[in-house]
Chains A and B, each alone.
Chain A
Amino acid sequence: MMATMTANAEAVVSAPPKMTARDVKVFYGEKQALNGVSIDVHTDLVTAFIGPSGCGKSTFLRCLNRMNDTIDAARIEGRIELEGHDIYAPDMDVVQLRARVGMVFQKPNPFPKSIYENVSYGPRIHGLASTKADLDAIVEQSLVRASLWNEVKDRLQDSGTALSGGQQQRLCIARAIAVDPEVILMDEPCSALDPIATAKIEELIDDLRGRYAIVIVTHNMQQAARVSQRTAFFHLGTLVEYGDTAEIFTNPREQRTKDYITGRFG
């Protein structure tokens, strides 16, 4: 099991990473939130970020699609590339970047509109469908891929907010994949969900792996262990350890990682 894991991971490393971050530093005003994080994100791997609250994992995640731009005081140093292009370069259009690097948030946040409108919104504003039939097809495909189609196909005009928490989160995932992104960032996507809904999302993440590069921030270490192939442990704004998930959870190299995942912090 361990051996195959390692072999698998090594096989992927030979392919160029979808996103690379090199020495990324983030400052909120005077306060430094991240000190030099370097990470590769691969399409065939789910990468999990773990670490205690305030360790900078969400901050780093939001750097990957420039969601931190909305915070005036945030300043970012270092280099983040999407397929070799610096995403903070002046010629990078942030709107297109966010379409290519989609995001799913901690709290399910469907628009207070119909299920159909939720999913079709992205393709519509990016002009991905020329006809109503195209749009319908995208909506259906996205909902199918998000394993939600069978549950909502008869009530696409119902409000997205009327769904259960787990369904709402899958709707948000469907909304994200409707614009056909290359990378999907998930910021604690299951923290507001019950175990069954969580299991469905995890199963979904596993299904989506290979088609999209997935980065997931989670507080639930079991979840990181279940869904990811690579795990990065952040602590106090520093990337402490980054490696194969199986390795991190059975035999971490760093004392801080070990103390954190075995529940000996503080």
Chain B
Amino acid sequence: MNTNPPTAHTVKSFDEDLRQLRLLIGEMGGLAKDQVDRSVAAIVARDADAAQAVVQSDPRIDRIEAEVEQLAIATIARRAPLADDLREVIAALKISAVIERIGDYAKNNAKRVNSIAQDSPIRPMVIVPEMARIVSQMVDDALDAYARRDPELARDVWKRDNSVDEYYNSLFRALLTFMMENPHHITPSTHMLFIAKNLERIGDHATNIAEVVYYSATGEHLTDRQKADETVYTVSEDVEGEQER
């Protein structure tokens, strides 16, 4: 297992390329985490303007993703990286795609602020900020693990996904009950359900990043985790129809 920081390449500009890739991923990750935080803040504050700002800053992440992709392909073509270099470049490529998805989920959540703001606040809503805090921390830590090439932190993030799933499960049940109480609650609850689902997906993606970081750093895969999202098996309602997985 090789986790100690690598020495410099004989070809210095190769190191420069790799550094550039890390910088871009770091920047992109910071943006995405910010988007998640701001979208949740907008939801909590029911602030449509703030939400609009989140939606508008999403293309920046997409631009950086394109940049990462270009640089990664150029690096593969020019440097023919092998072993941990190869794993790192591929990791950058995969992580950038994942971060882009995280950004998309944040954007999707922000878009729902408008509808939420038109209805009165609902009770189970209180779980969302807490869930978002954990998810945001996961994203943060996953990126940290990437920046530090720290497989242990990555494994830690990976383990945390279960608690996010548990939050989601409890929120899911709370919303089901809430909707059954009063059909008027269905619209805001559905939005809330999607927001929660998005947050859960962001958590999954943070986990993906952690997996990629772990493989990149150690060359070994994290063994398949126990999926804790039990809603797929919940048969009382047919809410999972349009969800992928």
Q: Which A residues are within 8 Å of any B CB, using their own CB? A: 221-222, 225, 249-252, 255, 257-259, 261-266
Q: How far is B87's CA from A249's CA once the two chains are assembled, in angstroms?
A: 10
Q: How far is B83's CA from A264's CA once the two chains are assembled, in angstroms?
A: 12
Instruction: Output the nearest chain A residue to B7 by Cβ-Cβ distance.
Output: A264
Identify 29 residue pairs between A and B in the complex whose beta-carbon atoms are under 8 Å apart, listed by A's number. Answer: A221-B82, A249-B82, A249-B83, A249-B86, A250-B82, A250-B83, A250-B86, A250-B219, A251-B83, A251-B84, A251-B219, A252-B2, A252-B83, A255-B2, A259-B6, A259-B7, A261-B82, A262-B6, A262-B9, A262-B84, A262-B85, A263-B9, A263-B11, A263-B14, A263-B85, A264-B8, A264-B9, A265-B10, A266-B10
Point out the residue from A251, A257, A262, A265 that lies within 8 Å of B81, measured CB to CB: A262
Known contacts A263-B10, A264-B6; 19 further A-B pairs (Cβ under 8 A): A222-B80, A225-B82, A249-B82, A249-B83, A249-B86, A251-B83, A251-B84, A251-B87, A252-B219, A255-B2, A255-B4, A258-B6, A258-B83, A259-B7, A262-B6, A262-B83, A263-B11, A263-B14, A265-B10
> In whole Å, how far is A56's beta carbon from the nearest beta carbon of chain B?
21
What A residues does B80 contact at CB under 8 A?
A: 222
User: Across chains A and B, which 6 residue pairs bring their CB atoms closest together, nearest first?
Assistant: A251-B219, A261-B82, A262-B85, A258-B83, A263-B9, A249-B82
> In whole Å, how far is A139's beta carbon from the nearest beta carbon of chain B?
39
> In whole Å, how far is A79's beta carbon from the nearest beta carbon of chain B?
32
Interface of A is mostly: helix
What B residues does A262 contact at CB under 8 A?
A: 6, 9, 81-85
Interface of B is mostly: loop
Q: How far is B14's CA from A264's CA once the two chains are assembled, in angstroms?
A: 10
What B residues does A259 contact at CB under 8 A?
A: 6-7
What A residues does B85 contact at CB under 8 A?
A: 262-263
Point out the residue from B6, B10, B14, B220 that lies within 8 Å of A251, measured CB to CB: B220
What B residues does A252 contact at CB under 8 A?
A: 2, 83, 219
Interface size class of B (residues with CB under 8 A): 10 to 19
Q: Which B residues are within 8 Å of any A CB, using their own CB? A: 2, 4, 6-11, 14, 80-87, 219-220
Instruction: Output the nearest chain A residue to B87 by Cβ-Cβ distance.
Output: A250
> In whole Å, how far is A40's beta carbon from the nearest beta carbon of chain B?
23
What B residues does A263 contact at CB under 8 A?
A: 9-11, 14, 85
Point out the residue from B10, B11, B14, B84 that lies within 8 Å of A258, measured CB to CB: B84
Q: How far is B9's CA from A222's CA once the two chains are assembled, in angstroms?
A: 17
Q: How far is B84's CA from A51's CA once the two chains are assembled, in angstroms?
A: 18
What A residues does B84 contact at CB under 8 A?
A: 251, 258, 262
What A residues does B219 contact at CB under 8 A?
A: 250-252
What A residues does B87 contact at CB under 8 A?
A: 250-251
Instruction: Output the nearest chain A residue to B10 by Cβ-Cβ distance.
Output: A263
Q: How far is B6's CA from A257's CA once the two chains are assembled, in angstroms?
A: 13
Q: How far is B2's CA from A264's CA once the two chains are assembled, in angstroms?
A: 14
Q: How far is B83's CA from A129's CA once the two chains are assembled, in angstroms?
A: 49
> In whole Å, how far is A240's beta carbon from the nearest beta carbon of chain B?
13
- Beyond A250-B219, A264-B9, A264-B10, whether A258 also contacts B2 by CB under 8 A is yes
What B residues does A221 contact at CB under 8 A?
A: 82
> In whole Å, how far is A260's beta carbon from the nearest beta carbon of chain B?
9
What A residues does B220 contact at CB under 8 A?
A: 251
Instruction: Output the nearest chain A residue to B86 by Cβ-Cβ distance.
Output: A250
> In whole Å, how far is B227's beta carbon from the nearest beta carbon of chain A?
22
Q: How far is B80's CA from A255's CA once the two chains are assembled, in angstroms?
A: 19
What A residues does B9 contact at CB under 8 A?
A: 262-264
Instruction: Output the nearest chain A residue to B11 by Cβ-Cβ distance.
Output: A263
Instruction: Output the nearest chain B residue to A255 by Cβ-Cβ distance.
Output: B2
Q: How far is B83's CA from A262's CA once the two chains are assembled, in angstroms?
A: 7
What B residues does A264 contact at CB under 8 A?
A: 6-10
What B residues does A257 contact at CB under 8 A?
A: 83
> In whole Å, how far is A226's beta carbon from the nearest beta carbon of chain B?
11
Q: How far is B84's CA from A252's CA once the two chains are assembled, in angstroms?
A: 8
Q: How far is B80's CA from A249's CA once the two chains are assembled, in angstroms?
A: 11
Instruction: Output the nearest chain A residue to B215 by Cβ-Cβ distance.
Output: A251
What B residues does A258 contact at CB under 8 A?
A: 2, 6, 83-84
B2, B4, B6, B220, most chain A CB atoms within 10 A: B2
Instruction: Output the nearest chain B residue to A225 by Cβ-Cβ distance.
Output: B82
